Structure 1
Amino acid sequence: MDIQSALAGKAYGLSRQIAVEPQSQTGAAFAEVAADMVSDLQATEKAASGALTGTVDPHAMVQALAETELAIETAVTLRDKVVEAYQEILRMPV
């Protein structure tokens, strides 16, 4: 009996470790994506203020706007996927 409970405890510990590790990697990846989006938005803001004062090339402004548009579309897509997953969880029978 003790051997089986020890093996069960060890298996539980390993499965818990496996289940926890991908979440931490996913969280780090999401944090990197979010940081990239914020930096794109800040770069666009600087380019916009520079375009208004005439210190930034209009081409750089258009490029910054395109990068920001891509970042916003990515954020919206991520949000939609999270909402879809949440709705799917709510539909699961208990």
Structure 2
Amino acid sequence: MLTSLNAANAYSAARSAVQPGQPAGPDAIRKVGEAAEDFAAQMAQVDAVSTGAMTGKVETYQLVQTIAEAELAMQTVVAIRDKVVEAYQEILRMPV
């Protein structure tokens, strides 16, 4: 499950991978991969809970909580993507 603390940790791990002046080592790349796997697992959990809510096997409060966690995870992924795109655009603006 991806909580806000896990999302913040994943964001800080991914941030070091694109931070200027620091080479991205294998540890940073591994952490980004783990964050992506956690995100995929969170989305799979949302699908499972949504299906369970539609069939009456999962309580509504559990569905709302899972959707809120998924929203936080999605916001984290979008923030990371935005930083990567920003870094790429900065590289394109560099004079050759």
**In structure 2, what residue type is equivalent to 1:27?**
I
Query: How does the TM-score come out when normalised to structure 2?
Result: 0.73
C-alpha RMSD over aligned residues = 1.4
Asked which structure has the greater RCO (Cα within 8 Å, sep 6+), the reply is 2
Query: How does the TM-score come out when normalised to structure 1?
Result: 0.75
* Deviation at residue 23 of structure 1 after TM alignment: 2.4
Unpaired runs of at least 5, structure 1: 1-18
> Is 1:79 aligned to residue 96 of structure 2?
no
Structure number with the higher helix fraction is 1
Q: Deviation digits for residues 57-89 of structure 1, max 9, x if unmatched? A: 111101110111011111111110000000000
2: CA distance, partners of 1:71 / 1:93: 36
Q: Which structure 1 residue ranges, 4+ long, deviate > 2 Å from structure 2?
A: none
Computing the radius of gyration from Cα coordinates, the structure with the larger value is: 1
- Superposed, 1:22-33 pairs within 5 Å as 22-33=24-35
